[in-house]
């Protein structure tokens, strides 16, 4: 016969095993981005994974989905809202469609250099914009970085806005960018990033614009001969979380996600800086003709109407605050 004592011991043993199992049943966190495994986003994704798994002592495990395997950036942001993906690293390109307050960050020639842009995003203004995500079923975990965007194309060397006349340029799904290219004289074609390489290869579009980081990580030299260092817009990126997952967590757990996102942003910025130093030479080695000495003043002038269109719709307050800081 089983004694009462043995029974209690057995039950408590089962309970202990139960608790132990629970402690080891890690929650899988699915993280997505559009760029290749060698990109600055993957450097950031690896840093996020390392930090979250370490901070949570294995309570969370991170699975990385790269190269747009979960869709384009707009699709992945929708995925966060409905909980089909947990964490996304994305440019702000399509983010204005969800959080219009962020369009301001994508104005051409808003920032002059990396220090300025990083400083603004790290300020209370950046925090305020991160918090705005909460009004749109998104959680802003940290600002990270894509980089200053430059123009590539398959047709000719571009030195002035007039040279872009009639050029079919893929832009991100971002009104501000489309307007800026229209003003330059180009024919903007908005398109999700995962479709871009094939579109360039098949000649559906002649050109595109992206930071050195992205041009390197995507082997764009295979389909684009000319690069002009226009640096026409700083492209911020953001680490976003899904409220479907994060709202159910404790403050401590959410804190780990934020800390991991900040570690991710730091690693990404370092990689962006490295490629700013080494990337152009790499692209030249791969056969691209690079126009480095661009006079940006005429470009700046050409895109000015984009500012008026932006401020007439969204006001001047945020823009002025950024310009004051920058
Ligand atoms: O965020 O769509 C783009 O051109 C972006 O720069 C790219 O997906 C990285």
pLDDT tens figures, 19-31: 555 556 899 999 9
Question: 259: CA distance to ligand 1 center in Å?
Answer: 24
Q: What is the ipTM of this complex?
A: 0.98
Half-sphere exposure of 203 (CA within 13 A, CB side): 1
pLDDT digits (tens, 9 = 90+) for 48-88: 999 999 999 999 999 999 999 999 999 999 999 999 999 99
Distance 255 CA to ligand 1 centre (A): 28
220-261 pLDDT tens trace: 999 999 999 999 999 999 999 999 999 999 999 999 999 999
- What is the pairing mode between strands 207-211 and 226-241? unpaired
Q: Average pLDDT, whole number, for the chain? A: 94
Question: If we measure between CA atoms, which residue out of 240, 225, 242 comes closest to residue 84?
Answer: 242
Q: Whose CA is nearest to atom 1 of ligand 1?
A: 91
SS3 labels along 106-164: HCCCCCCCHHHHHHHHCCHHHHHHHHHHHHHCCEEEEEEEEEEEEEEECCCCCCCHHHH
Query: Is the confidence at residue 279, as pLDDT, over 70?
Result: yes
Q: Which residue of 68, 91, 194, 196 sits with most ligand 1 atoms within 8 Å of its CB, as the best mutation to test the pocket?
A: 91
DSSP state of 233: E
CA of 166 to the centre of ligand 1 (A): 23
Sign of the dihedral through C-alpha 242, 171, 233, 176: negative
The ligand 1 site (C-beta within 6 Å) comprises 34-35, 73, 90-91, 93, 146, 172, 193, 210, 214, 235, 237
Q: Supply the pLDDT for residue 17.
A: 55
pLDDT(277) > 70: yes
Going from the Cα of 275 to the center of ligand 1, the distance in angstroms, rounded, reads: 16
Q: Rounded distance, CA 165 to CA 158, Å?
A: 10
């Amino acid at each position: 016969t089983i004694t009462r004592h043995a029974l209690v011991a057995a039950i408590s043993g089962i309970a202990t095993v139960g608790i132990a199992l629970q402690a080891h049943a890690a929650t899988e966190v699915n993280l997505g981005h559009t760029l290749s495994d060698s990109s600055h986003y993957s450097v950031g994704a690896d840093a996020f994974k390392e930090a979250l798994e370490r901070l949570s002592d294995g309570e969370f495990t991170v699975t990385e989905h790269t190269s747009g395997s979960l869709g384009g950036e707009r699709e992945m942001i929708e995925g966060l809202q409905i909980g089909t993906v947990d964490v996304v690293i994305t440019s702000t390109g399509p983010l204005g469609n969800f959080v219009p307050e962020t369009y301001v960050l994508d104005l051409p020639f808003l920032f002059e250099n990396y220090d300025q842009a990083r400083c603004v995003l790290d300020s209370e203004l950046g925090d305020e914009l991160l918090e705005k995500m909460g009004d749109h079923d998104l959680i802003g975990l940290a600002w990270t970085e894509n980089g200053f965007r430059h123009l590539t194309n398959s047709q000719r060397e571009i030195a002035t806005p007039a040279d872009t006349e009639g050029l079919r340029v893929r832009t991100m799904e971002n009104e501000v960018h489309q307007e800026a290219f229209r003003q330059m004289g180009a024919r903007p074609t908005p398109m999700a990033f995962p479709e871009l390489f094939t579109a360039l290869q098949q000649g559906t579009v002649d050109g595109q614009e992206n930071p050195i980081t992205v041009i390197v990580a995507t082997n764009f030299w295979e389909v684009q001969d000319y690069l002009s260092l226009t640096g026409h817009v700083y492209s911020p990126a953001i680490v976003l979380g899904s409220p479907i997952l994060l709202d159910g967590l404790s403050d401590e757990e959410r804190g780990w996600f934020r800390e991991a996102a900040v570690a991710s942003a730091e690693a990404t910025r370092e990689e962006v800086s490295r490629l700013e130093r080494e990337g152009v030479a790499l692209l030249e080695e791969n056969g691209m003709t690079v126009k480095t000495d661009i006079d940006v003043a005429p470009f700046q002038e050409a895109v000015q109407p984009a500012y008026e269109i932006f401020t007439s719709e969204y006001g001047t307050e945020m823009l002025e605050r950024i310009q004051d800081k920058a």
